[in-house]
Amino acid sequence: MSTQKRIWLTGASSGIGQSIAEQLAIEGHLIAVSARREDPLQQLADRFPGQILVLPVDMTDADAVRQVGVRIENAWGALDWAILNAGTCEYVDIAEFESAMFQRVMQANVQGTVQCIEAALPLLRKGTQPRLVGVGSSVTFCPLPRAAAYGASKAAIRYLFQSLELDLAQWNIGVTLVSPGFVETPLTAGNDFPMPMQVNSDDAAAIIIKGIEKGKREVSFPGPFITVLKLMGSLPNRLRFALTKGMARPASNKEAS
């Protein structure tokens, strides 16, 4: 990228977000980094003096997110990119189904993202070739067992960004949806199931940045994994169900009784 951009990146303390921040900083951009934990953000700022604006925040705190927007405006006056990467994942235990899990996941992944959009849009309207980026998931291409809460939240993100793209076109704000497969991060490190075609966070970040730079509507990867999911998701429901029900984790006799 030939011109320096003003970028707000959420979820920048680890995983994909940290790798994106590092690669953008190496390219010379100004980056406002947000996450709950301040120490990793400050470490980034120490490595790239003068480029990193450290703005720790809990994305579910609407007032705090608005203040982040105010601080970015005071520092730069506008945004060119907003990359809303922050989120969480929890998997359903069908024997102990709890609505509270859905509330937690939706609050973090959907409401947190919407609150960041509220803060970012006035700044993007004043930016140069502005672009709003949201991180969804490849799980939206095909329903999978135990992913009811996470998948529902990311399906909401997909619809949200595809709908916003229509309204934001009048302001020439581009929209990109990122739909990754499995990426090696501290979050996925806790998964207790196979994760085929896993991508490391640095490679994922490079793919995402390249896609944003090209103005892609959607960035999904890795290609073969995405192709398989899309094919499975496009099958007649009866056949899709037959192929995927075997992935479900059986409940124990005690749980089922």
Residues marked active site are found at 150
**Which whole-number Å values give the CA distances from 255 to 55, 63, 94, 100, 193, in the listed order?**
44, 42, 9, 19, 20
With a CB cutoff of 8 Å and minimum separation 6, the contacts of 31 are 7, 8, 9, 12, 21, 24, 25, 51, 52, 53
Query: Which amino acid belongs to residue 40?
Result: P
Contact 133, 83 (CB under 8 A): yes
Copy the structure tokens of residue 145: 């067992």
Contacts of 123 (CB under 8 A, 6+ apart): 8, 69, 72, 73, 77, 78, 79, 82
108 Ramachandran zone, left/alpha/beta (phi>0; psi -120 to 50):
alpha
Q: How far apart are CA 163 and CA 156, in angstroms?
A: 10
CB 239: neighbour CB atoms within 10 A?
A: 10
Q: What angle do CA 140, 146, 152 make, to 5 degrees?
A: 35
Of how many residues is the chain composed?
Answer: 257
